Structures are given as C-alpha cells and as structure tokens.
Amino acid sequence: MLDLRLIRHDPDRVRRGLAARGDDAAAVDAILGMDRRRRELLVQVEELKAERNRVSKEIAEIKRLGGNGSPLIALMRSKSGDVRTLEQEVREVDDELEAALYAIPNLPADDVPSGLDENYNRMVRSSGSPPELGFSPKPHWILGTSLGILDFDAAAKMSGARFVVFKGPGARLERSLINFYMDENEKAGFIPIQPPAIVTREALIGSAHLPKFEQDQFKLANGDLFLTPTAEAQLTNLHRDEILEAATLPRLYCAFTPCFRAEAGAAGKETRGIIRQHWFDKVELYAVCAPEQGPDLLERLTAQAEHLIKALALPYRITLLCAGEMGFAAAKTYDIEVWFPALGKYLEVSSVSLCGDFQARRAAIRYRPAPGAKAEFAHTLNGSGLAVGRPYAAILENYQQPDGSITIPEVLHPYMGGITTIQHRGSEEAIK
C-alpha cells in the first residue's frame, strides 16, 4: 500500500509511476477526492462535538442554578445524532479510501526501465549457451510421459485439468530439487520455515494478493480461508503487527510450500506440460529489513536464486524487468530465465523483487531504527527460489538424450538414491 501522505503531497510522482506501469493515473484524483471529503467530514464532526460539549456545559450550569434545561437537552441530543450520522459517513469514506489504496500498485524504483512489455526488459547477465543436442529436442511433457514419470491422465481423473502426477524417479527428482534448494538456502543463512498451506484473507491482504487478485485464488468453502498462492503470503505475515529492533535486521527466511493458483488470466500462456499448473511446489526466499538494506539484499537474494540454477548447470539469463512487466507489489524485479530447447526460448523460473514498505504498510511490519526511537515501516523482499516445476521441466529438456532418457544433474545425485539416469524403459519399468 502506498503512503497516503505521498499521494497527497506529491501526486504527480504517483501519476508518473502508475502511467509507467500502464495503470490508470486517474485513480490518484479519486483518492485525493476521497481524502478531501474525509478531512472535511472530520472537521465537521469535531465542530459538532465542540458545540455539543458547549451545550452540555450550559445545561449543567442551568441545572446547578435550579433552571430547566429541556430545550438545550433537545438541542444536545440533536447534535449527538448529527455526530453519529457524520461518523458513519466517515467510516464509509474510510472504507472506500482503503479499497482504493489497496487497488494501487507499488511505484517503480528510479532505475527501473520504462516500458510496458518484455521488449523493454534489460538483460543484466547470462550464463551458459543453449545445448547442442544433435537431434530434434522433445518437449518435457512428451519426455516425462514416455518415461512414465509424468502422468497427466491420472491427474485429470483425480483433480481435472492443469495437474500432474509425478511417478517413481520423477517423484524423487521433484523431491530432490526441493531438498537441494532448502539445504542450499539454509547454508546461505536463510532460516528455514515450514508454514501452513492455508491462509486467511487478512494474510493475503497483507502480502498484496488480495483484494485485487481474488479471481486467481482458491477459496475454501468453510470460512474466509484460501489455499496459499505462494509462501510469500505466510512469510509477509510472520511479523505482522510487530515492531522489530534494527539490530535484528535483516531477517532472512526460506520456506517450502505447495502453491495453488486458479491462473484465471493465464489462457494461452504455456499451459501445456508443467510450466503453468493449478498446483506446484515452490521454495520461497524472503527478507525483512531496514530501508537502507533493501538494494543490497535484492542483489543477494537474486544471487542466491541464481546460484541454485547455476548449480544445476542450466543455461540462463537474468533480466531487469521494465515497469509494465513487474508484479503488483514490486518496486524493482529481476527475473531469472532458463533455456527450454523444445520451446526454443527462455522462460522465467525465478523472480526476485524489492517491495519497499508496500507490504509492510499493509501488514503493519515496523522496526525501531534505534533504541527508544519512533517505529517506522520496514521494507520487504521476496523471491521464488525456485518454483520447482519449471527447473524440473528445464532439466528434462536440457538433459535429454537421443534415446529419450534423462541424465540427472550431478549436484542432485546425493538426493536421488543412486539414480543418475532416468532410462526409457516404458512406463512400468520407469517407476521401479
């Protein structure tokens, strides 16, 4: 959430930031109008309360002198009724103003490239080259199905479209990626967290997934609860309504959760295979910090996510996203993209963002810059490090052999129980 004082005192900056994202800058004028109306109402409320108090004192004095204060009592009651009416109007304007503020995205940082689509993203660095396979590469969904390690038909019988069943060494490979990621992140100083997979509406509002993106969430029938779209939601709320001491910052966390997304707006976007599913596993990186620590931590979290991909020996590149490509809560974002031979292009496998105080305002996460100092809003960062399905698919495509088998990246061998190659032996043999 943006600071209302920023919108009030520097509306042109907010308009420019929204326009850079491709959002309607007219929302600024609507918010300013609500803010003015709210302040006018508050002045009227205070004036009426002052008048009511003055009348109340007059009544008390009249009664002290033995007089009848009935006419003034009627006037005081009328004033009290007017106060209640105006206070209700204030609450209604407050609700409208809060909803409008919740709908405004974060503003791009000064060094974020201008532009509304991926053509304006800026490549930062790359590593490795697309492999020379020497044969026509197959897409990961064909490889996985023929090896018997990915079963889309079984998943459809259980859960419908956009799900998969991992089988045999395929299930072990998925689990090995999770364990490798969590182990490496813990070695790098990130505290491991295993949060619940169900979150409240308040938690999703705090992380900025609600109310704007409710159509993308899986809501449970019993209560105002949701399946988590990402552990970013839980980690944002780990310190909700808390004041942290500066000496304890930054706080670095990594969490593994299953993630669930309706993907309501994702039609036509790599929906084949396991690139964009309703359920996927993800290891999340997260940081809570003082404002001055944010830029360096963005580089640190990006480097950590990059380390995980580099260890898998997958060709990748890192791009700085333009304003129009960033997520709702982000002020600056790096994407890590991996080469997919069958698709013939790079696809994002990790996204690391600096959010400033945008989430902290919503979740009331504050810190005390010095002992006894006034508490201020902390800054937050998040990064998918990594969404497991995409590196999994990239491994199948980049490590495929002419006979359809898949060699396992060396760094995963300790997690694979002695399996170094997933052989093409038919679906029944592949799961043994």
Question: Which residue among the candidates 351, 353, 384, 397 is catalytic per the annotation?
Answer: 351
The C-alpha atoms of residue 380 and residue 297 are separated, in whole angstroms, by: 10
Residue 64 is a catalytic residue:
no
Question: Which residue among the candidates 127, 348, 376, 405 is catalytic per the annotation?
Answer: 348
Question: Which residue among the candidates 162, 276, 300, 362 is catalytic per the annotation?
Answer: 276
Residue 348 is a catalytic residue:
yes
Question: Which residue among the candidates 261, 361, 366, 368 is catalytic per the annotation?
Answer: 261
The C-alpha atoms of residue 94 and residue 88 are separated, in whole angstroms, by: 10
The type of residue at 97 is L
Question: Which residue among the candidates 21, 38, 361, 390 is catalytic per the annotation?
Answer: 390
Residue 52 is a catalytic residue:
no
Residues 150/144, Cβ–Cβ less than 8 Å: yes
Residue 87 is a catalytic residue:
no
The C-alpha atoms of residue 205 and residue 362 are separated, in whole angstroms, by: 7
Q: DSSP letter for 149, please.
A: S
Which two structure tokens, joined as six digits, stand for 195? 């949060």
The C-alpha atoms of residue 345 and residue 390 are separated, in whole angstroms, by: 13
The C-alpha atoms of residue 293 and residue 365 are separated, in whole angstroms, by: 16
Q: DSSP letter for 183, please.
A: H
The C-alpha atoms of residue 232 and residue 204 are separated, in whole angstroms, by: 9
Residues 354/379, Cβ–Cβ less than 8 Å: yes
The C-alpha atoms of residue 96 and residue 88 are separated, in whole angstroms, by: 13
Strand partners, 284: 255, 384
- Say what angle helices 389-398 and 140-147 make with each other, to 10 degrees: 80
Residue 261 is a catalytic residue:
yes
Residues with catalytic roles: 261, 276, 348, 351, 390
